[in-house]
């Protein structure tokens, strides 16, 4: 049973290129019982479950040990398999770029206080295409142009939706942005350099 024992892999795999779960026989052809252990059960478990290293990590070499027992006799047989890291599929590219997606802001702006145009990425680092929609294009366009509400008006809450696509795979991610009204701190200075009565001062002009 030791001589004939083999790990059964997917039809497209071999022991040096494992991408799917493997089959670890628990009985031998002559009635022996077989138990298994792995030096890296997080990649290949003793039940043959395979978890591939994530994209960007190295392939993983795992040593699998079979213990073949019959009555009071037992022997071991050692197998070395290489589990390939995940490749960059369209689905994975979309997932990675969706998680990493960020909107760019100008100056001290944040998502909770938008006063200037924003940067909406059109491509992801993993080759995805990103398109945008806005539920209030009068406040923020799909190009990222911002039109703040007039002074005295309420904040404008805008939902920007990104669609991240590659091949036939796609996903969406939403961003809620708050566009605040135009500032009341405007100043008109006459030719003499004096602030005219009735003008509203900004902090930089006070003192």
Q: Where are the beta strands (DSSP E) in 43-181?
A: 60-70, 73-83, 129-134, 156-166, 169-179
How high is the mean pLDDT of the chain? 90
Torsion of CA 11, 14, 15, 18, to 10 degrees: -70
> Does position 167 have pLDDT exceeding 90, yes or no?
yes
Question: Bridge-partner residues for 195, per DSSP?
Answer: 189
> Does position 175 have pLDDT exceeding 80, yes or no?
yes
The per-residue pLDDT for 43 is 97
Contact 34, 27 (CB under 8 A): yes
| Residue pLDDT, tens place only, 118-141 | 999 999 999 999 999 999 999 999
Q: What pLDDT band is residue 183 in, cutting at 50, 70 and 90? A: confident
153-176 mean pLDDT: 97
């Amino acid at each position: 049973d030791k001589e004939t024992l083999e790990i059964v892999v997917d039809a497209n795999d071999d022991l040096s290129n494992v991408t799917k779960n493997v089959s670890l026989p628990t009985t031998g052809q002559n009635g022996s019982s077989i138990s298994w252990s792995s030096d890296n059960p997080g990649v290949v478990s003793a039940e043959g479950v395979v978890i591939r290293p994530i994209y960007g990590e190295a392939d993983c070499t795992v040593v699998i040990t079979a213990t073949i027992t019959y009555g009071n006799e037992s022997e071991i047989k050692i197998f070395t398999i290489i589990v390939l890291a995940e490749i960059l599929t369209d689905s994975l590219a979309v997932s990675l770029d969706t998680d990493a997606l960020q909107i760019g802001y100008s100056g001290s702006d944040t998502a909770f206080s938008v006063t200037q145009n924003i940067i909406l990425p059109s491509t992801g680092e993993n080759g995805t295409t990103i398109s945008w929609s806005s539920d209030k294009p009068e406040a923020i366009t799909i190009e990222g142009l911002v039109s703040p509400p007039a002074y005295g008006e309420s904040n404008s809450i805008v939902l920007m939706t990104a669609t991240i696509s590659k091949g036939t795979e796609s996903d969406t991610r939403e961003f809620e942005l708050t566009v605040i009204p135009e500032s009341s701190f405007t100043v008109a200075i006459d030719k003499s350099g004096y602030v005219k009565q009735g003008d509203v001062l900004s902090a930089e002009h006070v003192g």
